[in-house]
Structure 1
Amino acid sequence: MTALRVLGIDPGTRVVGWAVLEARRGTPRCIASGAWRLGRPPVALGERLLRLRRELSACVREHQPGLLALESAFFGKNARSSLRLGESRGVVMVTAAELGLAVTELAPALVKRRVAGAGAATKEQIARLVGLQLDLHAGYASADESDALALALCALLQDALPAPQEQAGSAPGPRTGTALPRGARRQ
């Protein structure tokens, strides 16, 4: 049985959470995770985004994921924060495209529902449940790392869901779980 390896990224311009998870025989496990500290002003934004690109490229080359899970864009109350988050997301998406890595965008509420069973779960609840599901006993480097673990876990859980039932009279197809986004590869 082939395994899907997913890289979850919680983007930012100061700290970026990342996590590589893999599922074999339906059991997810953490391969590696952490947080990249990109710097704070006075380090120029362009330099921090370049650090993100370098860290992400190295991580993809080292761990060879078949899919990158990224939180979908949302509009927060602070326009400046939303803009900065968009800049970080752009670097992640361009780097993934450059490396031939498929990207799936996941809404925050979907991640919460899949991981915790409730779309209104708190960050603390998500972190605790992710730790339980992945049997992680050590603490997280940051909330960003915990969020990246949740994104990757959600992508794995989404892939493990059974395919929708066929319509009556249609030919049965293979039951391989939810289709991967274009360009994703199993390992």
Structure 2
Amino acid sequence: MRIIGIDPGTRIAGYGVVDLSEQKNLKAIAAGAWKLDAQKELPPRLATLAIEFRRVVETYKPSHICLELSFLADNPRTALFLGHARGVILSEAHQLGLVISEISATSAKKIISGNGRAEKSAIAKIMSSMLGFNFVNLPYDATDALAIACADAMRNRNSSFANSSVTLESNSSSNENILIDWQKKRKKGRIHLSNFASLLKAK
């Protein structure tokens, strides 16, 4: 089962893709963030979000999506814009035939860390440990999205993650190898990209 988690937004939106095997193991496939031009009006930003979301889904072919639920923002305008972004993702996910579920940020953090108010940095470290990679150069939007995908797997699939280390097979497709390629190049100091989405575009 392949799940894409989405941390929605109209300026930055994060995504994370994970595989849940029949043996209940998790494998990280891809993660990144879409940086939308805040100088543009909302409609073109939403159009870009829809295009980028569809591109990632068509590249990695998840069967399930888990989307972060809206929170009660202090600024009504922020809440309204977030609702628009969620609507775009939900519409695209439905058209692409994905199984849709939603989870609150608090619930996802609770499942992943045991603390519904965990800091973003703590969630990023847990994702790094759980999935076996150093996500230090990924934005929190991406690690939050990975946490959403993992929480959905743990919540709804009755999963046991006693052995959740990541193994990326050498015969994986070129797209699935993006994650391990990025890690190797980072360690050798030959790459300074901030997320896997940038690496995907570069390839």
Q: Please, what TM-score do these two structures have when normalized by structure 2?
A: 0.74
1:33 aligns with 2:31: yes
* Alignment partners' CA distance in 2, 1:90 and 1:22: 25
* Alignment partners' CA distance in 2, 1:17 and 1:61: 16
Please list every run of at least 4 consecutive aligned residues from structure 1 whose deviation after the TM superposition is greater than 3 angstroms.
none
Alpha-carbon contact 2:124-2:135 (below 8 Å) kept? no
Question: Given the alignment, which residue of 115, 129, 132 partners 2:129?
Answer: 132
Question: Given the alignment, which residue of 94, 100, 105 partners 1:103?
Answer: 100
Report the Cα offset of residue 12 of structure 1: 0.6
Report the Cα offset of residue 88 of structure 1: 0.4
Report the Cα offset of residue 114 of structure 1: 0.8
User: Aligned pair in 2 of structure 1 residues 138, 108: CA closer, same or farther (>3 Å)?
Assistant: closer
Report the Cα offset of residue 97 of structure 1: 0.8
Letter matched to residue 139 of structure 1: V
* Alignment partners' CA distance in 2, 1:131 and 1:159: 22
Equivalent residue runs for 1:82-101 within 5 Å: 82-101=79-98
* Alignment partners' CA distance in 1, 2:83 and 2:94: 16
1:60 aligns with 2:54: no
Report the Cα offset of residue 20 of structure 1: 0.6
Report the Cα offset of residue 96 of structure 1: 0.5
Q: Which of the pair has more CA radius of gyration?
A: 1
* Alignment partners' CA distance in 2, 1:148 and 1:81: 19
Residue-by-residue CA offset, 1:72-100 (whole Å, 9 max, x unaligned): 12211111111111110000001111111
Task: Show the counterpart of 1:177.
Answer: none
Equivalent residue runs for 1:1-187 within 5 Å: 4-24=1-21, 25-41=23-39, 43-161=40-158
* Alignment partners' CA distance in 1, 2:56 and 2:10: 17
Gaps of 5+ in 2: 160-203
Letter matched to residue 157 of structure 1: M
Report the Cα offset of residue 160 of structure 1: 3.5
Letter matched to residue 54 of structure 1: I
Alpha-carbon contact 2:135-2:143 (below 8 Å) kept? no
User: Aligned pair in 2 of structure 1 residues 138, 121: CA closer, same or farther (>3 Å)?
Assistant: closer
Q: Please, what TM-score do these two structures have when normalized by structure 1?
A: 0.80
* Alignment partners' CA distance in 2, 1:7 and 1:133: 16
User: Aligned pair in 2 of structure 1 residues 149, 140: CA closer, same or farther (>3 Å)?
Assistant: farther
Alpha-carbon contact 1:140-1:146 (below 8 Å) kept? no
Task: Show the counterpart of 2:185.
Answer: none
The total of aligned residue pairs comes to: 158
Gaps of 5+ in 1: 163-187
